[in-house]
């Protein structure tokens, strides 16, 4: 099973006997929420899911987008019509960060068939609607642990003993600028691997072989233990998805830099080098 689906494939499956549940996860850092965009036009049958309210817990010491309460997440997914035995396709406006976060959460929580619309709504050529669906309640019950998850200690250990990738822009990794979190820099030992380098000009993911070559250049091999973090666990999910497309399993440090930097006792590295 692939982790992404093209617009043409989605149009075909949506017209078939077992159409996927569609989730609209439009979101942008700093807001406003994507609901207004959703209400102005979305894929037919798609249900809006709010990243800040349903795909994350309240911000705090665990980061700006900590994992949501598992029971609350399961209830939100059931309201959206998600069932264990029905495929799910998630999309956003085109960047696919929020869609990847929803993909990761559902897969981590045990759903076996979740894909991201490659290129998002920007690449969709089919019809859109303003009709708000009323889906039948789903039966999905989260069983967390299907994908690997890192806490701060495990991320630090992986930076020393394996490969920890920093998915933020290179200038934030170096500590040249930090527009969001109180401290700039990176986790000592982490490698700079901006998630923007995983996508093509049209906003979709690079082909699997190109992604594999990109990660191989960073030292990722078939035997590598790989983890990813970003600012708050959103764009890092996008990089985990890119690694999945390339055939490389990777763990997510969900708290990411916003959790790491909130504890002033944790070390911070600056500059272009990992250490």
Task: Name the residues annotated as catalytic.
Answer: 230
Tokens linked to 221: 């091999």
Rama region for 229: left / alpha / beta (φ>0; ψ in -120 to 50; rest): beta
Is it true that the peptide bond before 32 is cis, omega within 30 degrees of 0?
Answer: yes
Contact criterion met (CB below 8 Å) for 85 and 92:
no
Torsion sign, CA atoms 114, 118, 124, 125: negative
């Amino acid at each position: 099973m692939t982790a992404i689906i093209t617009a043409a494939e989605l149009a075909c499956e949506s017209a078939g006997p077992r159409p996927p549940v569609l989730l609209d996860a439009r979101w942008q850092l700093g807001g406003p929420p994507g609901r207004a965009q959703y209400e102005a036009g979305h894929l037919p049958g798609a249900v809006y899911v709010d990243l800040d309210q349903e795909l994350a817990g309240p911000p705090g010491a665990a980061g700006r987008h900590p994992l949501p309460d598992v029971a609350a997440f399961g209830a939100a997914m059931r309201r959206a019509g998600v069932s264990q035995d029905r495929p799910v396709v998630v999309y956003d406006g085109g960047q696919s960060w929020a869609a990847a976060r929803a993909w990761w959460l559902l897969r981590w929580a045990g759903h076996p068939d979740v894909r991201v619309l490659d290129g998002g709504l920007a690449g969709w050529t089919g019809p859109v609607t303003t009709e708000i669906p009323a889906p039948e309640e789903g039966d999905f019950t989260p069983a967390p642990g299907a994908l690997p998850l890192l806490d701060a200690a495990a991320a630090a250990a992986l930076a020393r003993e394996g490969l920890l990738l920093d998915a933020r822009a290179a200038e934030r990794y170096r500590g040249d600028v930090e527009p969001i979190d109180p401290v700039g820099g990176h986790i000592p030992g982490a490698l700079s691997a901006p998630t923007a380098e995983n996508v093509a000009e049209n906003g979709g993911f690079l082909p699997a072989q190109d992604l594999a070559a990109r990660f191989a250049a960073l030292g990722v091999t078939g035997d590598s233990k790989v983890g990813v973090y970003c600012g708050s666990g959103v764009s890092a999910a996008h990089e985990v998805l890119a690694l999945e497309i390339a055939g490389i399993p990777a763990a997510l440090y969900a708290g990411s830099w916003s959790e790491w930097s909130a504890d002033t006792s944790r070390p911070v590295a600056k500059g272009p080098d990992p250490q």
